[in-house]
Amino acid sequence: MTKINANSLRVGNIINHDKKLFIIVSREHTKPGKGGAFIQVEMKDFKSSTKLYHKFRSTENVELVRLEQVVFSFLYKDDNLVTLMNNETFEQIELDVSLFGDDINFLQDNMPLEVNYYESEPISVTLPETVELEIKEADAARQTAAASYKPATLSNDVRIMVPPFINAGDIVSVRIEDKQYLERVKKN
């Protein structure tokens, strides 16, 4: 744990505030006409993902947190537990599905995952930015003057919007964070 001046806070920093871990999502330095300057931050709670807005005085010190990051491979999911294997030691760990949130549906065999530890306790899991999945079913394209997207269901049963030329059986690249279609993957 390191104390830093609030002026030094940057987007992506992880801080300990009120005995909770937060990641800084946005920051703005404000110098009002009267009074001292302050740093307005938007931060997200690591455990609950709730957002909090807070003003730190520019002279205030903040506790910066460093996380230990370990790469694991996804093995399998059982009820409320996900089993991962450390890629270096081959040690297996089980994590509660709640650490994955909605991203749990995008897990694939041997997918590399980054587990973030704070004081030897896993607090979050980071999946790759994108994943390739097959389209299980796609609605018929509607004829409109403007190009429009149509609903489709991925092989993991997640619904996304795709361009009209995408059909069932196509493999597509999807950004996991916002479930956004990126491109059709060419078959070899």
Architecture of the CATH domain 130-184: Beta Barrel (2.40)
Topology (CATH level 3) of domain 68-126: OB fold (Dihydrolipoamide Acetyltransferase, E2P) (2.40.50)
Say if CB 157 and CB 106 are below 8 A apart: no
Report which DSSP code applies to 157: S
Mean pLDDT on 33-61: 87
Lowest mean pLDDT among 36-45, 46-55, 93-102: 46-55
pLDDT score at 174: 96
> Does residue 109 register a pLDDT over 60?
yes
Q: Tell me whether the CATH fold assigned to 2-64 matches the one assigned to 130-184.
A: no
Give the residue, 142 or 106, on which the prediction is more confident. Answer: 106
Sorted by sequence, the CB contacts under 8 Å of residue 152 that are 6+ apart come out as: 135, 136, 137, 138, 139, 159, 160, 161, 162, 166
Of the pLDDT bands very low, low, confident and very high (cuts 50, 70, 90), residue 188 is low
Q: Indicate the average pLDDT of the chain.
A: 89
Concatenating the DSSP letter of every residue in 3-32 gives EEEGGG--TT-EEEETTEEEEEEEEEEE--
Neighbours of 50 (CB within 10 A): 10
Give the residue, 80 or 187, on which the prediction is more confident. Answer: 80
> Does residue 145 register a pLDDT over 90?
no
pLDDT score at 49: 76
Q: Is residue 163 classed exposed, middle or buried when 0-12, 13-18 and 19+ CB atoms within 10 A define those classes?
A: middle
pLDDT score at 146: 65
> Does residue 142 register a pLDDT over 80?
no
Mean pLDDT on 80-100: 93
Concatenating the DSSP letter of every residue in 107-155 gives --TT-EEEEEEETTEEEEEE--SEEEEEEEEEPPPP--SS---EEEEET
Share of residues in the chain with pLDDT > 90 (%): 54
Of the pLDDT bands very low, low, confident and very high (cuts 50, 70, 90), residue 37 is confident
8-26 confidence digits (pLDDT tens): 888 888 899 988 889 888 9
Q: Is residue 135 classed exposed, middle or buried when 0-12, 13-18 and 19+ CB atoms within 10 A define those classes?
A: buried
Domain boundaries, the chain: 2-64, 68-126, 130-184
pLDDT score at 1: 65
Topology (CATH level 3) of domain 2-64: SH3 type barrels. (2.30.30)
Say if CB 14 and CB 65 are below 8 A apart: yes
Cα–Cα distance between 47 and 126 in angstroms, integer? 13
| Dihedral Cα 94, 12, 130, 167, nearest 10 deg | 120
